[in-house]
């Protein structure tokens, strides 16, 4: 808990850790932060030791991790299960493409980034308003979000004709739309985020987002979200405006998905209606359920592992053909939800906690002076 940092409570590091740590995230020990630093450092040197193909693929997993964080945030912390986070991901991807194509410069790509994130976020806010202020709850929310994604899928799929264009951007229907790369700079010159540059941009954004979300969920808003998740009616009787809280949560979730969507579209320089399809919509639910819905780190980790596995299966690595990838993913999801409902990471953390407290008890019974690990 926070207690162990009381000694360095006045130091900057101690205060930063206080904000990052709390009951709503896993990993409050010095060991954890050491391991975290090592992993981030390893990911930073990763592009120097592996081939360009692996770097490019890993960038894609990073982009998808935002989608996982988006669902983890709203479902794990506020209990709002959305099957349609891909809708905001996809809306942002399309807006990024449309604005980027029409402006067609480095500055244009920056404007497109902002427009896309705003677009995805507003879409979530609008849907959230209709649902939460309409009193739509639980399974109805889940179904509504999925239906919205599926209808966007149908809508975008029929935009193949040349009349479906926004300015110079052809929506392209099933054939999809070509999308420019993310870039930072002025006019026509600047840093275009591709390959390793995109990788590093994603890594930095992802780590920053993760830490930011930790601060958010461990702060008073996180406590409010958890209270809403645990008992909406009770939380209203403490004066909380529950629909408003859920709207804010859902909007932040939409923004996270939108950031992922922009990176994803920029990564492949392409977006098509399958981002709204039921197959893609299933993936965030798979990652977050398996990684652990109440663990931001679990959601990211599961995304990286499962997507890596899918890539390898589909490129013929492994004992079975690529067509088995979805069977394995679906089977994994079923197994985890049946036997490990909290997900892999929280379950492991729980086991580690128990092992640690056993060890502490033993050491206390032998040498009462030894300090507990945390």
Partner 1 sequence: MITPTATPLSISGYSLLALFFQFLDSFGFIVLATVGLAIIFGMMGVINLAHGEFILIGVYGTALAYHAGAPLPLGMVAGVIAATAFGVVVERTIVRHFYDRLLDSMVATWGLALVVSQLLLIVFGSSLDSISTPLGNVSYGPYSSSVYSSVLLPAIAVCVLAGLYALFTRTTFGIKARATIEDPETARAMGIDTDRMYVATFAIGSALAGLTGALYAPALGSITPNRGNTFLVEAFVAVVVGGQSVILGTLAASGVLSVFNATGSFLFGTFVGQMLLLLVAIVALRVLPDGITGYVDDWQQRRRAEE
Partner 2 sequence: MSTPQDINVRQKPAVAATGGGVDTILATKRLTKNFGGLTAVDGVDFSVDEGEIRCLIGPNGAGKSTLLELITGQLSPSAGDVYFDGHDLTGMDTHARIDTGISVKFQSPHVYENLTVAENLRVPLQRADGDTDGVLAETLDRIALEAKADTGASDLSHGEKQRLEIGMAVTLDPALMLLDEPVAGMSIEETADVANLIRSLHDDGMTFVVVEHDMEFVRQISDRVTVLNQGSIFRQGPIEEIEADEDVRRIYLGENA
- List interacting residues with partner 2 (CB under 8 A): 1, 23, 220, 223-224, 226-227, 230-231, 233-242
- Mention every residue, 6+ apart, whose C-beta is less than 8 A from residue 249: 73, 74, 77, 78, 80, 225, 228
Binding residue for partner 1, selected from 3, 162, 163, 323, defined by CB under 8 A: 323
- Per CB under 8 A, which of residues 57..86 are in contact with partner 1? 79, 81, 83
Task: Report what 83 binds from partner 2, partner 1, none; CB cut-off 5-8 Å by kind.
Answer: partner 1
Contact 89, 260 (CB under 8 A): yes
- Nearest approach, Cβ of 292 to partner 2 (angstroms)? 15
- Per CB under 8 A, which of residues 144..173 are in contact with partner 1? 144, 146-148, 150-151, 154-155, 158
Rounded CA separation 110/236 (Å) = 41
Rounded CA separation 293/77 (Å) = 8
Of 120 and 222, the one with the shorter C-beta distance to partner 2 is: 222
Q: How far apart are the first and last CA of the chain?
A: 8
Task: Report what 174 binds from partner 1, partner 2, none; CB cut-off 5-8 Å by kind.
Answer: none
Which two three-digit tokens encode residue 105?
């410069």
Question: Residue 278 interacts with partner 1 (CB under 8 A)?
Answer: yes
Q: What's phi and psi for 319, nearest 5 deg?
A: -75, -20
Task: Report what 240 binds from partner 2, partner 1, none; CB cut-off 5-8 Å by kind.
Answer: partner 2
Angle at 104 between CA 102 and CA 108, to 5 degrees: 90
Which two three-digit tokens encode residue 151?
């209808």
Binding residue for partner 1, selected from 23, 34, 134, 167, defined by CB under 8 A: 134
- Name the CA dihedral angle for 107, 108, 110, 112, rounded to a multiple of 10 degrees: 170
Of 236 and 326, the one with the shorter C-beta distance to partner 2 is: 236
Q: Which of 106, 118, 133 lies closest to 192, judged by CA?
A: 106
Which two three-digit tokens encode residue 219?
């702060």
Of 144 and 216, the one with the shorter C-beta distance to partner 1 is: 144
E-strand ranges in 113-170 read 165-166, 169-170
Paired strand residues for 169:
166
**CA torsion through residues 355, 357, 360, 362, sign:** negative
- Nearest approach, Cβ of 158 to partner 1 (angstroms)? 5
Of 31 and 335, the one with the shorter C-beta distance to partner 1 is: 335
Contact 92, 327 (CB under 8 A): no
Task: Report what 289 binds from partner 2, partner 1, none; CB cut-off 5-8 Å by kind.
Answer: partner 1
- Nearest approach, Cβ of 142 to partner 1 (angstroms)? 6
Task: Report what 163 binds from partner 2, partner 1, none; CB cut-off 5-8 Å by kind.
Answer: none
User: Which residues bind to partner 1, rule: CB under 8 A?
Assistant: 79, 81, 83, 130-131, 133-140, 142-144, 146-148, 150-151, 154-155, 158, 278-279, 282, 285-286, 289, 323-324, 326-327, 329-334, 337-338, 341
């Amino acid at each position: 808990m926070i207690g162990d940092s009381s000694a360095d409570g006045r130091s900057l590091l101690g205060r930063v850790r206080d904000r990052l740590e709390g009951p709503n995230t896993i990993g409050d020990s010095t060991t954890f932060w050491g391991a975290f630093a090592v992993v981030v450092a390893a990911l930073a040197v990763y592009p120097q030791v592996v081939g360009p193909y692996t770097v490019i693929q890993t960038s894609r997993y990073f982009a998808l991790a935002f989608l996982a964080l988006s669902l983890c945030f709203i479902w794990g912390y506020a209990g709002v299960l959305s099957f349609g986070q891909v809708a905001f991901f996809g809306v942002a991807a399309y807006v990024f493409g449309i604005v980027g194509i029409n402006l067609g410069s480095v500055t244009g790509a920056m404007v497109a980034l902002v427009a896309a994130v705003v677009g995805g976020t507003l879409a979530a806010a609008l849907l959230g308003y209709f649902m939460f202020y309409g009193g739509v709850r639980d399974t109805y929310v889940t179904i509504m979000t999925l239906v919205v994604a599926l209808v966007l899928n149908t809508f975008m799929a029929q935009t193949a004709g040349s009349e479906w264009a926004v300015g110079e951007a052809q929506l392209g229907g099933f054939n999809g739309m070509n999308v420019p790369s993310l870039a930072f700079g002025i006019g026509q010159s600047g840093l275009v985020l591709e390959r390793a540059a995109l990788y590093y941009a994603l890594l930095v954004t992802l780590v920053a987002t993760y830490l930011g979300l930790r601060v958010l969920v461990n702060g008073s808003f996180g406590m409010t979200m958890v209270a809403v998740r645990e008992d909406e009616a009770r939380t209203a009787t403490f004066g909380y405006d529950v629909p408003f809280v859920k709207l804010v949560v859902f909007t932040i979730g939409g923004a996270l998905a939108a950031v992922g969507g922009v990176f994803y579209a920029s990564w492949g320089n392409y977006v098509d209606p399958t981002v709204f399809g039921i197959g893609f919509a299933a993936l965030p639910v798979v990652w977050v359920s398996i990684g652990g819905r109440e663990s931001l780190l679990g959601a990211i980790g599961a995304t990286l592992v499962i997507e890596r596995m899918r890539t390898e299966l589909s490129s013929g690595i492994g004992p079975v053909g690529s067509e088995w990838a979805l069977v394995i993913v679906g089977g994994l999801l079923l197994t985890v939800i049946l036997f490990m409902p909290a997900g892999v990471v929280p379950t492991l953390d729980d086991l580690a906690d128990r092992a640690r407290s056993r060890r502490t008890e033993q050491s206390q019974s032998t040498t009462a002076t030894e300090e507990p690990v945390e």
